[in-house]
Structure 1
Amino acid sequence: MMGSTGTGERSTSALLLGRDKEVQEITARLLEPGLRGAVIIGAGGMGKSALADHVLERLDGIVSASFIHGSPVLSRMPYGVLSPYLEAAGPEDMESPLAVLRTIRRYFRRLTETGSPQPLLVIDDAQYLDEASCHILTQLAMSGELRLLVLTRPRAHHIHELLSLARDGLLARIDLGPLSAEAVHEVCQGVLGGPVLRATSALLGAASGGNPQFLKALLAQSRRHGQLAEGNGAWFLRSEPDGMDASVVDLVKGQLASRTPAEREVLETLALAQLLPRSVLSAVSGPAPVHALLADGALQPGTGRAELLGLPQPLHAEVIRSLVPAVRSAALRARVLSALDSEQARGATFPADDAGWLRRMEWGLDCGDTVTDEELVRAARMANDAARPALAVRFGAAVRSDRHLLSARVETASASVQAGDLARGHVLLEGILEPGQPTLAADQETLERAVLATAHLYFRSGKSGAEMTDLADAWCAASEELSARNGGSGELPEGAAAGVELLRTMALMVDGNYPAALARLTGPAVHRMPADSGADPRWAVAFHCLLAELLVSSGGISSALEHSGAALEFIGRHGGALNAACGGALVRHAQGLLHGGRFADLEQLLEAVLEGPAHHLITYGGTMGVFEGAVEIHQGRLREGLERLHPAVEALRVSDPQMLLPYALGLAGYASTVVGDQNQTARYAKELRSLSCSGPRPQWLVGQAYAAAALVSSESDGSVQQLAEIAEQARAEGFLAAEMDILELCLAVGDLRQAPRMLEVSAACEGGAAQALHAYAGAITSGSPDRMVAAADEAVRHRKYLIAVESIGHAIRFYGEHGNLRRQRALIQQLRRRRGELAGVTVSYLSPSLHLVRLTRREHEIVELLLSGASTKDVAAHFTLSQRTVEGHVYRIYVKLGISRRADLEAAYLALEPGASSSARH
């Protein structure tokens, strides 16, 4: 095969996503005079070849690229990979390394003599080079006659001589690691051609290990299998990806083939078991292969668990599991269980490993082994607590004995509710807990789990508070009856008493009666509430979560964050069954941070959530996407917020455990209006009108307020009045934080009559956002331009950039009305800078007070002529005016736009008038 002498004969990637930094670095290093080229080291599928293609596109005309390709077959033939450049060599020359070197030198010198650009030899799959070829290439590079671009995998035992050039500083070394989270998101959006839920790209990034080839294969197969769904142009995962793309299977097979039999056995064992203590793995397969794989990076310790080992690449594990025959899988499982028993018999203790235990239970079912019904029920409960409903259903379906069937049925019902199949959950729970009837449950644990599943079902179904109260009463009676039936006192157990009390509090919240619910949790009955560390952690978490939500609604942000933080601390300390409450606790904590204006803390929380388990990202991905959008919008970055909200809304249609869809629709509709996307506004508003009141009452009211604000531009009077009425409704129902959000919208659409009430509400609420709004309302009430400017500074300090713009806008109006053009011009400059922070949002929509600095029709016409290249003399002739008159118009235009030279005209004009005609842009 002859090597090509230009980049045109090699297929190149039209678009290399997620590797811009590497492309720039490699391009620069290949042109660096003191270097002989570069070596790119990365595992299979990391995109080395695509990266090289992209670099060569950028260097087209600067270098003349030729190519050689290593392979396992050619590696057994001395100089086999160099044969395209050795056609002039005779048989006797092939016996002499010097003769081979001279022949290749002549080949590339001829290229140079014909006027071709500087030669560059690209060596793909260099890990397969034979030592003889490696020596020749090393000599060529050292002499400076030829530049090299070496692409190799980390395991490259036969090219140490070539790689030594990187250690000596002659070759630049670029280690191609996994794609970053941002790069993975960029690839997903580039491949799918639309906005992607951040939780989805995070899950795909974790599943692929950041490997670009695996990532694109996952995207393709997830689309084929219907797991990756598209709604209104946005993408999200409905369920975890399964199935393997052929390209990934082939790659993993190739990597397994390069391992020793003992190393393959270790990889197979860990793929099947998921996590194992190192001592157990060594007992199964021997310590030598375990040590070798650890040194090679093919194994990694579990997070925070130094003794537990797993595979770093989840997709590898899935592929390897599919390649292990059933008989061999059963034999490996038997050896693993025997080794675990032996280690424990010797007194060895291992870190808690719920995920590993669940995987071993599932492995047992895969192998057809006998798993006891007690273990199956325990496994189903653990799977539900870990938010893995499909696995819980599988374990529940395997239970056979009558004694455990009801417990399995409860877990299957709970899994169905988690997965959104409310109808099936209702059918499975029927008859277990009926008012006035003995409970079918045989123990308190099964009864409790049935009640919790039913409460979850009621919440998701929009049941009333009265029905929730009836459930609490039925639980109380059934628990007392069960206690007497099992030889107890017949009194309500302490844990059940706390649960019943919390359920009755939830009933009040479902009906929107938050003040009564707050009084219940903080009143005389509080001694029954499990708040301290000695209480049952399940009810302690529920207590702290409910209290956090109630305190946020009343404006007590600091106390709310203490309680939501305590809930998260309980979950982190105890784990197990508490993991089921993690999503709810995170939502309460996020609500507190958002309403408190602690945007940086909220952004960190959301980033941490993206590192969570896959099943959590599926269930709560849309919920967290709403907060990702909300935190952007609250800071004035409406376009970015809308980009996050769009896929979040679509994901909530499939999984909405906290019932946030109405709030998300209102918020998205409002953001669409502000950025000028009226089609999206109409779509979101129509859907919101079709929904009945559901979910937390404060979020419902705020969602309705956002929807009303979105319609202000088209239904000004009616929508403004509706906003004021919703604010009054929130006030009447005791939702102080919601009222503050709604009043902020009232001020944004120009209803300044609400400023005095905002002054009161913001004074009663805690947090930076309330402080910024308090300063703003005070400035509006006072009418002082100095206070307006100070309020803008306060808003910037708390990252409330929309409020900053509004404040400056009011000051601009004041100075304009009083003829202080110098001060007005200075503030217009400030306003333009703030608009940069808002990414070009049409601020004139947000504040009618800014209309006074907008241009007249004649001024628009003059600007369009100036931007088309006309001089003031040309403009004067066009309008039959004197040139002096036109110059006066131009001066006033510059004052309004806050500029002093023509070069800034286009940017300033489009910033002030985003809806300007296209002729003004060209």
Structure 2
Amino acid sequence: MICLDSSRARATSPGAEVSAVLTGRTEDLRSAVAAIRGGTHVAVMLLGDSGIGKSTLMEAVVAELGPEVTPIRIHGSPSLTHVPYGVLGPFIVGLPVQEATSQLAVLRTLWTHLEEERRATQKPLLLIVDDAHDLDEATAGILVELAAAGWVKLLVGAAARPGLPEPLLQLWFEGIAERHDLRPLTQPQTTEMLEQTLGPQVLPNVAELLWEASEGNPLLLNSLIDDAKNDGTLLQRNGVWLLTRPPNSHGDRLTDVVRRQLLRRSPEERQALNLVALAEPVSRELIEAVVGEDAVAALIVHELIRVSAAPDPELRLRHAVYGDTLRNLISPARSLQLRQSLLRRMDTEPTSAEGLLRQVSWSMECGAEMEDRQLLRAAVLASRLYQDDLARKAASLVQDPELQIAARSVTARTHYNTGDYAVARDILEADFGAGHSVSSLLTGTLLWAAVLSAQGHTPADIMARAGGLVQAGERLAREKPADAGRILAATQERYMTIQSMVLALAGEFGGETPPEAGAPPPEPPVNHLDEAFRLSLESERLLVAGKAVSAFEVASNALSAAGAGHDELHFLTGFLVVRSAAAVIHGGDWQAAETLLARFAAGTGPSMISFGGGVHAAHGIILLYQGKAAQALNTLSGALESLRLEDPQQLFGLTAAMAFAAAAEVGAKERADSFLVDYGSVRLAASRYLRTLAEMAVVYGKARLGNHPEAIAELRLLGQPDPGQNTTGLEFDALAFCLALGDRNAAARLLELKPQLQGRRPAAICDYAAAVSTDLAADHLSAAKSCEDAELWGFAALAYDAAAHAYRRAGDALRERMAMSHRKRCLERADNAPGQEPEGIDDSLGLLTRRERDIVALAVRGFSDRRIAAELQVSIRTVEGHLYRSYAKLNVKGRDQLPGIPGN
């Protein structure tokens, strides 16, 4: 189960010191420095997007070269692009006006200035040319002449678009310049940069959201970080950095970056950028009709906007985070003017969800009127994308009484998104059963039931209240007798779906057993949602019964059955993923769990803040089960802080319980006490299995802290809550906790349960239970291997420890040392960060012959070759030969490296 040896010293490995500004650029730095120091290249060229880090890397190169060179800086300027030798003005101030356009005169004057610098320092010259894409051709030609003659070396930075002037590019074509195309940071590099900037406790979803928003651009990333810290979007709670909402894309620093970009553009280009920002995605043909083809083409070349493929190319901003900033820089009056200039040329409405949201948002910003149905459609889309402010604003503007129930339902959904269940309930209950059509009568009813479930109401209580929906249907049928049949059928179907949903959310399967052969088939589901919930409930039953593999398969079928058409139940996919993850984690298929969570996280997009906490909690539970308690504690504590903000799957209590167990495992009593308070502060509204698992984790943690003598008895009761039901899975979890606490009596019952259990984790723990029952060294070694294969490092260490004790009783010192070495390796594996491999010996001791083991055992005890020979009555040469062969088999160099030698 969890199972770590709390007595051992905790390994601490401080992270390597890495400069945050050079994250992801180390190889480029080394290569550039080597090229400038070498004799093959006369120039190093750094190309990339604006803000990608060219200037920072150039300064790092100069700092690395230090006193080896004399740096001379030249900076390109857009205003001087068409002025021959304009940027060289400071170097040629003494040149007569009549010679200012003579290449030879300019070259001679510039070289005289540079030579004075070189004589003063007696070091080679390095010309540092930033923004080289803005150099005029004449200046570029002069620099190439200097470099080709060997008088200077060049360190050049330029935007990838429009790129280097032709003369500089020619140096690369000729093979005497080294070129580096700087790429955006990857997500791991972004995480590294955040940890260097903020500290090690940064939630993974923070790194992911900032990486997506910045697209790996370091300048944008740093701007987003600063703005998010300043406005409270990015904050630190209990040592953990987290985002309270999606990153702000119109803060002061990012606004300054965008302003500087706009200053370089022509009036037509600025107008095109504003139009794209206000209307994206927008037809290229439409924008070109307003501002002209040249302006659009220039923005595409400079990679400020991007264009989709034909046949209907659309434009959008190159960096999405520029959008809000640009829109905030436009006055409402100017925005309305631009909107009218586009609408005159538009003959259709946007067809994409993104286009609709942008158009509705733009209309609201400038006070334009919109149709109610368009507003409602936009509100639904915005709430689905967790753009809650936009959803509420659009819903509040709906005026049609027939649509207002749906609009209020959307508003309630936004409150559900943020965990404000009381407000959501009040909104929904005001309209419950009050509709005057079938659609309005059913609107929000599923969400209403979900809200009550989240508040902890029992399925029986919710269904008693849901009877009001059936009565409302009967009332509506009396009012519309011609449509009575359809009304009654629809309300009854919704009632049945609500019943399936609340039972599934609570995990209350009522003790039903699978139908026997020949029995009549169960009543078919009324719709695809009903089928998904029924399958989910069956998955819960199988999980509680110990059938983890079957439970995962059924939960996966539930995900497929749910499909994508469940707008009102936006949380459904997350709920079914939790059910699937619970099954696969119980069974110990870590790879399947990681794949499931990664696929879910990748699909959540803007909702990562809402669902990220649950994903991190699942990762933490996996680490805890593997025996990596220290890592689990960090992951679970971070997940807990995220779940304080938003917890759509009601996982806070479970996460607090598991964090408490992890803290108790590593002996962090104060943190454990804090997590226990968190656990007691909420009412567990998760499924039955997860509620019981949380209770078990709390009992286990209390026992680890040494203040719960009744832990074993309490765990056994939790494992068998109802003798009339098959709760083999729950009992296994309880007994695994007991076994981890040293309860040898749990082993016998685990062996009885083994035939009913599925999954690698139960199989490995039952193997350990079998070894505990026999207490034979060979069985303990076999169990340890089984636990290692299942990546249960805590149980593997316990099994090796038991094997060592058995060998000690048998007087086999060598094998005792071997088992203890393997135990140490498992504990190190549990302590190591992901991706690290612990140092330690392998299984080579098993390759030794009996005589070799006897000789090595005596050598381990400190016997000399002569004494070993006398002890075993063999020649010294024989001892030396056996030791030599043993060293080779063990892959060691001598006695001091044999297993178990102090200092090894």
Note whether the superposition's TM-score is higher than 0.5. Answer: yes
CA distance in 2, matches of 1:900, 1:761: 48
Query: Is 1:635 the counterpart of 2:626 in the alignment?
Result: yes
Amino acid paired to 2:624: I
3-state DSSP of counterpart to 2:444: helix
Query: Is 1:311 the counterpart of 2:343 in the alignment?
Result: no
Q: Of residues 512, 525, 529 in structure 2, which corresponds to 1:529?
A: 525
1:62 is displaced (CA, Å) by: 4.1
8 Å Cα contact 2:500-2:534 kept in structure 1: no
Query: Is 1:765 the counterpart of 2:757 in the alignment?
Result: yes
Query: Is 1:197 the counterpart of 2:192 in the alignment?
Result: no
1:458 is displaced (CA, Å) by: 0.8
Equivalent runs, 1:746-825 vs 2, <5 Å: 746-825=738-817
Equivalent runs, 1:506-525 vs 2, <5 Å: 506-508=501-503, 513-516=508-511
1:552 is displaced (CA, Å) by: 3.5
8 Å Cα contact 1:284-1:336 kept in structure 2: yes
1:444 is displaced (CA, Å) by: 2.8
1:21 is displaced (CA, Å) by: 4.6
Query: Is 1:146 the counterpart of 2:152 in the alignment?
Result: yes
8 Å Cα contact 1:636-1:838 kept in structure 2: yes
3-state DSSP of counterpart to 2:156: strand
CA distance in 2, matches of 1:822, 1:672: 36
8 Å Cα contact 2:45-2:178 kept in structure 1: yes
Query: Is 1:700 the counterpart of 2:687 in the alignment?
Result: no
Q: Could you give the per-residue CA deviations for residues 733-763 of structure 1, whole angstroms, max 9, x where no partner exists?
A: 6554444334333222322321233334454
3-state DSSP of counterpart to 1:657: coil
Distance of aligned partners of 1:648 and 1:97 in 2 relative to their CA distance in 1, 3 Å threshold: same
1:650 is displaced (CA, Å) by: 0.7
CA distance in 1, matches of 2:190, 2:277: 24
3-state DSSP of counterpart to 1:835: helix
Distance of aligned partners of 1:263 and 1:237 in 2 relative to their CA distance in 1, 3 Å threshold: same
Equivalent runs, 1:418-457 vs 2, <5 Å: 418-433=417-432, 439-457=433-451
3-state DSSP of counterpart to 2:608: helix
Query: Is 1:100 the counterpart of 2:106 in the alignment?
Result: yes
Q: Of residues 656, 676, 685 in structure 2, which corresponds to 1:685?
A: 676
8 Å Cα contact 1:36-1:141 kept in structure 2: yes
CA distance in 1, matches of 2:245, 2:513: 37
Q: Name structure 2 gaps, 5 residues minimum.
A: 1-17, 834-890
State the match for 1:458 in structure 2.
Answer: 452
3-state DSSP of counterpart to 1:255: helix
State the match for 2:468 in structure 1.
Answer: 474
8 Å Cα contact 1:521-1:529 kept in structure 2: no
Amino acid paired to 2:373: E
1:138 is displaced (CA, Å) by: 1.9
Larger mean CA deviation between 648-657 and 97-106 belongs to 97-106
1:652 is displaced (CA, Å) by: 0.8
CA distance in 2, matches of 1:88, 1:190: 48
Distance of aligned partners of 1:185 and 1:790 in 2 relative to their CA distance in 1, 3 Å threshold: same
State the match for 1:622 in structure 2.
Answer: 613
State the match for 2:226 in structure 1.
Answer: 220
CA distance in 2, matches of 1:115, 1:907: 60
State the match for 1:49 in structure 2.
Answer: 55
Q: Of residues 592, 609, 612 in structure 2, which corresponds to 1:601?
A: 592
CA distance in 1, matches of 2:599, 2:309: 14
CA distance in 2, matches of 1:298, 1:149: 26
Larger mean CA deviation between 45-54 and 328-337 belongs to 328-337
8 Å Cα contact 2:447-2:569 kept in structure 1: no
CA distance in 2, matches of 1:521, 1:495: 32
Q: Of residues 652, 659, 667 in structure 2, which corresponds to 1:661?
A: 652
Equivalent runs, 1:152-171 vs 2, <5 Å: 152-156=158-162, 159-171=165-177
Q: Of residues 491, 494, 500 in structure 1, which corresponds to 2:495?
A: 500
Q: Of residues 232, 235, 238 in structure 2, which corresponds to 1:229?
A: 235
State the match for 1:402 in structure 2.
Answer: 401
RMSD: 3.9
State the match for 2:65 in structure 1.
Answer: 59
Query: Is 1:324 the counterpart of 2:330 in the alignment?
Result: yes
Amino acid paired to 1:212: P
CA distance in 2, matches of 1:511, 1:590: 16
CA distance in 2, matches of 1:265, 1:762: 71
State the match for 1:134 in structure 2.
Answer: 140
Distance of aligned partners of 1:711 and 1:449 in 2 relative to their CA distance in 1, 3 Å threshold: same
Larger mean CA deviation between 90-99 and 626-635 belongs to 90-99
Equivalent runs, 1:269-418 vs 2, <5 Å: 269-276=275-282, 293=299, 297-300=303-306, 309-334=315-340, 336=342, 341=347, 353-418=352-417
8 Å Cα contact 2:506-2:687 kept in structure 1: no
CA distance in 1, matches of 2:732, 2:150: 70
Distance of aligned partners of 1:702 and 1:825 in 2 relative to their CA distance in 1, 3 Å threshold: same
Larger mean CA deviation between 256-265 and 143-152 belongs to 256-265
> Structure 2 length normalisation: TM-score?
0.82
CA distance in 2, matches of 1:560, 1:899: 48
3-state DSSP of counterpart to 1:161: helix
3-state DSSP of counterpart to 2:483: coil
Q: Name structure 1 gaps, 5 residues minimum.
A: 1-11, 345-349, 434-438, 842-897, 912-922
1:225 is displaced (CA, Å) by: 2.0
CA distance in 2, matches of 1:196, 1:304: 41
8 Å Cα contact 2:92-2:110 kept in structure 1: yes
8 Å Cα contact 2:719-2:727 kept in structure 1: no
8 Å Cα contact 1:227-1:241 kept in structure 2: yes
8 Å Cα contact 1:386-1:577 kept in structure 2: no
> Structure 1 length normalisation: TM-score?
0.80
Count of residue correspondences: 830
3-state DSSP of counterpart to 1:172: strand
CA distance in 2, matches of 1:653, 1:521: 45
CA distance in 2, matches of 1:710, 1:908: 36
CA distance in 2, matches of 1:812, 1:676: 25
**Percent identity of paired positions between Structure 1 and Structure 2:** 27
Query: Is 1:120 the counterpart of 2:126 in the alignment?
Result: yes
3-state DSSP of counterpart to 2:248: coil
Distance of aligned partners of 1:243 and 1:768 in 2 relative to their CA distance in 1, 3 Å threshold: same
1:40 is displaced (CA, Å) by: 1.7
